Structure 1
Amino acid sequence: MYAAERQQWLLTRTRDAGRVDVGAVAEELQVTPETIRRDLGTLERQGLVRRVHGGAIPADRLDFEPAIGQRDTVAGPEKERIAKAALAELEGCLTVLLDAGTTTARLASVLPTDRELTVVTNSLPIASMLATRPNVVLRLLGGRVRGTTMAAVDDWMTDTLATLTVDVAFLGTNGFSPERGLTTPDPAEAAAKRAMIAAARRAVVVADAAKYGTDQFVRFARLDQVDALVTDTGLDDAATAAIEAAGPRVVRA
């Protein structure tokens, strides 16, 4: 396969799948990862893709937001490990705020059952999951529900958060990087996440490593505004050092 053919193949795969992984496509095409990185560099210079940690995404989809069902099928094992590792951040906490998202939903599913917790959330799926737990006092934040994320947003939600103080907030993010901080495609979701950080004594971000370098449309926080990032071992040492230099402690599960 000539370089031009390979680059067209990469562009098509990126647009169809929403992302390409350097290691996976290098193995599939039987070329070196360095060859794929060079090809992606060529496509990026043409404005066709945006390189991110470990691969690339389509340049015209930086504000694309997949539905919750689609996101839940991505990086499942990593999200499970992240959720279990995040439990350590609950030590000494009685009140917990859970942001909407597939990784925070995994965390909700493994919350301890041997002690009482007050859980505040804007997520309908998380609320449904926890509503019958005998050890959980559930507080559901109201507001306009976004069908894409099944999250309550807007003033009804943020005004209530302004009256609360919780021990720890667990937040999801669509992208994170030392340069742009924590980002998401939707302004209303960004406002909700800002309000969550303001309401919490400690803020912990739970996000798989594939989101590193995927800067989205709206920034909702700098990295130094959160206390910890729980991610997976796909985040390499250099990226981990860059994140920690910007502020938060990094846990790789």
Structure 2
Amino acid sequence: MEPMWPNVPARDGKTRSSKQRDRQRQIAETVIAEGTIRIDDLADRFSVSSMTIYRDLDELEAQGVLRKTRGQVTAQASSLFESNTTFRLNQNQDEKEALAHAAFELIEPGQAILMEDSTTGVYLACLLPQRAPLTVITNFLTVANEVAREPGITLHILGGQFYGWCDAMMGGATIDAIRNLRADTFITSTSAIVDDVCYHQTQDTVLVKRAMFEAAAQRILYVDHTKFQRRALHALLPLTDFDVVIVDWLTPKDHLKRLRQHGVEVIVAEPLRGSGRADARELG
């Protein structure tokens, strides 16, 4: 039985608040691993009341870790909700790795690279030391941590308001910092593509990405095939505004044909697993 008062030690030596944090961490890990789960099943699994599980879920939802919907809880994205970084990192890993390798081939030593909070960028960040010296400018702490100790990488971390769900800085201060910089290349992804326009769930994300787009000489978009199946609320930019669009090998051919007809340079990233090497096919 849980103690009545917030910080009274339980029999196992833990306070109520520490037990709650542990349980919420386990709940988050469970939902992220399974994608979607019934709330009643979660209460049974953790042997707590419905009131307790809803209180935990309310806190996790406020943190942007998950969302409640019709008796279920999910870590999956919707048109208004973007999944948190941990969940996104574990989705479509093969496709993201292939996209990152294809983008890596477009980077040259000595360049300044703008990177935002797309999780494909984490895969790309792992490759960047091979192109050193480079300057990496990012608002994404996950990418910053990946390259921070690399001797050939000069790292600029953009300030601003921190958003835990995406592990990134956003807001007016971030945008002001970007506007004072000029980079060689901006590499980005998007949450959804509708009618050949990139969309995101939050306007804050859109504003930061637009500022980065304007601050770079070359603009590269990489997206896996699932982005063509999703919807989101806020428009970012049309695909035709990018210098290069990199897609994965599972992207339907009708999308590729339409992009080529609009004059978009398209690179199809082929799967790496099994071949053991990066292989990107450019469609002229």
**Both structures adopt the same fold (TM-score exceeding 0.5):** yes
Aligned partner of residue 105 in structure 2, secondary structure: helix
Displacement of 1:93 = 5.4
Please, which runs of 5 or more residues in structure 2 have no aligned partner? 1-33, 37-76, 270-284
- 2:202–2:233: 8 Å Cα contact kept in structure 1? yes
Q: 2:258 aligns with which of 233, 242, 251?
A: 242
Identity %: 26
Q: Secondary structure of the equivalent of 1:234?
A: coil
**Structure 1 unmatched runs, 5+:** 1-15, 19-59
Summarize the alignment of residues 99-138 of structure 1 with structure 2, pairs less than 5 Å apart: 99-113=116-130, 115-138=132-155
CA contact (8 A) 2:109 2:131 kept: no
Give the superposition deviation at 1:249. 1.5
In the alignment, is the contact (CA less than 8 A) between 2:218 and 2:243 conserved in 1?
Answer: yes
State the SS of the aligned residue for 1:101: coil
Return closer, same or farther for 1:93/1:215 CA change in 2, 3 Å cut-off: farther
Deviations 1:93-124 (A, max 9, x none): 51111111210111111114353101100101
TM-score (norm 2): 0.65
**Higher relative CO (CA 8 A, sep ≥ 6), structure 1 or 2?**
1
* Counterpart secondary structure, 1:110: helix
CA distance in 2, matches of 1:92, 1:133: 14
Letter in 1 for 2:235: R
What are the superposed Cα offsets for residues 193-221 of structure 1, whole Å, 9 maximum, x if unpaired?
A: 00010001011112211111423110111
Quick one: which of 242, 248, 272 aligns to 1:226? 242
Stretch deviating more after TM superposition (210-219 or 124-133): 210-219
1:190 aligns with 2:216: no
Using the TM superposition, name which of 103-112 and 132-141 deviates more: 103-112
Q: Distance in 2 between matches of 1:100 and 1:238?
A: 29
Change (3 A) 1:75 1:115: same
Structure 1: which 4+ aligned runs deviate by more than 4 Å? Answer: none
1:142 is aligned to: 159
CA distance in 1, matches of 2:118, 2:132: 24
Question: Larger C-alpha radius of gyration, 1 or 2?
Answer: 2
Alignment partners' CA distance in 2, 1:123 and 1:200: 17
- Residue aligning to 1:82: 99
User: Which residue number in structure 2 is paired with residue 171 of structure 1?
Assistant: 188
